Amino acid sequence: MHSLASLLTLVVFLSVAGTASGVVIDSGDGSGNTTAPATDPGWAHVGLRGGLTAVYLGNGWVITANHVGEGQVVLGGVPYDLVPGSAVRLQNLDATYADLKMFGIYPEPPLPALPIASSVPFNGAPLILVGNGRNRGAATSWDANGPPPPGPIHGYTWAAGTSLRWGTNFAELFPPDRVFGTEVFGSWFDEDDSAHEAQGAIGDSGGAAFAWNGTDWELAGVVIAISLYGGQPAETSLYGQITYAADLSVYRDEILDVMALPEPDGGLFAGIALVAVLARRRRARRSDAQCTPTCGLSAG
């Protein structure tokens, strides 16, 4: 299926239209995986943000895609309000902005801090993707070329109804270029490739990509975009599509700087402290940088 990659001509945000939707899974009838997996990497940390998705990091701080935006977050059915003035958009090493945003919520959720990856997932690393999900619909196929080979591309339509859902995949794509200004890694949607093969869908922006580092699960990415085939039918997930997640190892220093601030219980403090602390960190990161953020990434 990867030989069809040349047909993947569009990359889109996962919040452009329609109701909230999340990972489409290939297992069973597609409606499962709505409770934590047996090996839980951080299910309770993933919640609703305006019908889309956000991830609670710890110490009162949340991360999501910048295009999702800040606001109230619902975790485990409990709403947590935005700390006014606490939002900060994360930056690349060259001081350009990434499609990532952190902000404070209160009261502080009773959850431990998530481990954040310090390096990009290895090629083939198992992933657990979590997002707020449309149910999977009927099986479908689409033939981009008509009667001549290759044959049709198979997949699924989307059905009505949403829920928090997890699925599995592998880190297997490491683009040399940024996606929407963000350093990313990707996963292919392949038939029967992992136990609950998952693909992001519209509305899944801000979802979690947990990666196995060889000894433990850690938060390695935030889902920001998917690829589409040129002319792909609307509201479908087809084999060979890609889910892109922001590579948090690139932004880890800045994330930890924000999380190290005192509990964000006031917007004025948050605004002043963030400007001072992040300015220092960014100057240090730029002076220490010897190459672009993608210099250590391998081809998938």
Tokens found for residue 134? 């449309």
| pLDDT higher than 90, residue 300 | no
Digit-coded pLDDT (tens) for 57-77: 999 999 999 999 999 999 999
Give CATH for domain 48-114+254-288. 2.40.10
Higher pLDDT, 13 or 124: 124
Q: Give me the mean pLDDT over the 52-61 stretch.
A: 95
CA dihedral 18, 169, 184, 91 (to 10 degrees): 70
What pLDDT, on the 0 to 100 scale, is given for residue 5? 42
Domain boundary assignment for the chain = 2-39+116-249, 48-114+254-288
Digit-coded pLDDT (tens) for 147-185: 777 789 999 998 876 678 999 999 999 999 999 999 999
| pLDDT higher than 90, residue 289 | no
Confidence band of 268 (pLDDT split at 50, 70, 90): very low
- Is the bond preceding 150 in cis, omega lying within 30 degrees of 0? yes
E strands within 15-124? 24-25, 46-49, 52-58, 61-64, 73-75, 78-82, 88-91, 97-106
Q: Give me the mean pLDDT over the 228-239 stretch.
A: 91
Digit-coded pLDDT (tens) for 22-48: 588 999 888 889 999 999 999 999 999
Please check whether the two domains, 2-39+116-249 and 48-114+254-288, share a CATH topology: yes
Amino acid at 78: V
| pLDDT higher than 50, residue 287 | no
Give CATH for domain 2-39+116-249. 2.40.10.10
Decide if 15 contacts 225 (C-beta within 8 A): no
Average pLDDT, the chain: 83
Tokens found for residue 1? 């299926």
Lowest mean pLDDT among 16-20, 193-197, 262-266: 16-20
Ramachandran region of residue 295, left (φ > 0), alpha (ψ -120 to 50) or beta? alpha
CA dihedral 115, 263, 81, 100 (to 10 degrees): -50
Q: Distance (Å, rounded) from C-alpha 3 to C-alpha 240?
A: 9
209 CA to centre of own chain: 5
Q: Distance (Å, rounded) from C-alpha 138 to C-alpha 269?
A: 51
**How many degrees, rounded to 5, is the angle at CA 133 between CA 240 and CA 174?**
40
Q: Distance (Å, rounded) from C-alpha 121 to C-alpha 115?
A: 14
Decide if 286 contacts 95 (C-beta within 8 A): yes
Digit-coded pLDDT (tens) for 95-128: 999 999 999 999 999 999 999 999 999 999 999 9
